[in-house]
Structure 1
Amino acid sequence: MSKLNLKESFANLREEYKKIYWPSKGETYHVTVIVLLITAFIAIYSLLFDTAFNFVLTKISEILRSFLGGA
């Protein structure tokens, strides 16, 4: 096994660090807005689906309760 060479390790780290793509402020802003809009859309969609599903189940429950004579 080879020994750990700190100088070589830091040189490799520096080379890898140079390869990182750092987005501009404008790109970061646009991506943040897109993420927030998608999150809001999914939240509203989930709320509407949940409300509709609850409404349908309530109506089915009422029909069954009146049909079966439940309390």
Structure 2
Amino acid sequence: MSKFNLGKAFGNLREEYRKIYWAGKAEVFHVTVIVLLITLFIAIYTVIFDTGFNFILLKLTNTLKSFLGGA
């Protein structure tokens, strides 16, 4: 069983740190715009779906109330 070598561990850490890809300002800006557009699309889709589902349930409820003679 090998012993832990702190110097080798820091060397490996430095080597892995050099492999990290850091995005530039332009790429960060483009990805941010994409995320905001997708978020906006999902929000609009959710509002439309919720409004339509609410409308359908309201009509169904009113139809059943009138059919069954509810209050």
TM-score (structure 1 length as normaliser): 0.96
Q: Which residue of 2 aligns with 1:37?
A: 37
- Percent of aligned pairs with the same residue? 68
Structure 2, unaligned stretches of length 5 or more? Answer: none
The alpha carbon displacement at 1:2 in A equals 1.3
Distance 1:2 1:70 in 2: 79
Structure 1, unaligned stretches of length 5 or more? Answer: none
1:65 has 2:71 as partner = no
1:18 has 2:18 as partner = yes
- Over the aligned positions, Cα root-mean-square deviation in angstroms equals 0.6
TM-score (structure 2 length as normaliser): 0.96
Q: Which runs of 4+ in 1 moved over 4 A?
A: none
Q: Which amino acid aligns with 1:17?
A: Y
